[in-house]
Amino acid sequence: MPTPKRTEPSPTRLKPARPQRPPESRGRRSLPGHPPYAPVPADAPRQRASNAYATTPAQDRVEAEVEHLSSLDLVGLREAWPKRFGPIPRLRSPDLLRLMLAWRLQAEALGGLDAETKQLLTRTHRRRGPTLPIGSRVAREWQGEPHEAEIIEDGVRYRGETYASLSEVARTITGVRWNGPRFFGLRAPS
């Protein structure tokens, strides 16, 4: 059996050696023309970038308050909430409560969501799934009695009355809370 011939790699296939970076900068990249990354000591004061936007006193005050929130534990956050916003939400997560407090502080000082965004969120919240076209009829038999509802422009008509949703119709029929689309068989049970 003949031995396979050994071939040396051609010089055109060899990659040039990559210049080695000093060990302290390995794993961190910096942009060309910029100084290499240097870690900031933990006790160094925070500095704003020289090209940062000019801030107002309200923004500075909110920034200081939000920074103060990061030092509070759950008990401290729960004590801070009622001083500004009334009843405390029933949360056990200090991170979530801190985020909620920060949002409320910022919205209070700098303005919350504009009307267009609120409307978009409300519209998105209401329209979770596919909607039935106007004029559609849904029917269900409940305890031996047939029930039929019609989808209208203002909501749902059932026995001459207008309801806001199929869930309200299902609640009227059964006396307990139901998911309307599930009650009328439009959604599979979970």
pLDDT, tens digit (0-9, with 9 covering 90-100), for 123-136: 755 555 557 889 99
Q: Which residue has the tokens 């050696």?
A: 17
> Looking at the whole model, is its pTM more than 0.75?
no
DSSP 46-65: P---TTPPP--HHHHHHHHH
Closest CA to 97 of 121, 70, 118: 70
Predicted pLDDT of residue 152? 92
Residues 6+ positions from 55 with CB-CB distance below 8 Å? 63
Q: Show the low-confidence residues of the chain (pLDDT under 50).
A: 28, 50-51
Q: According to the model, what pLDDT value does residue 51 have?
A: 47
Strand-pair partners of 7:
none
Tell me, what's the pLDDT at 188? 73
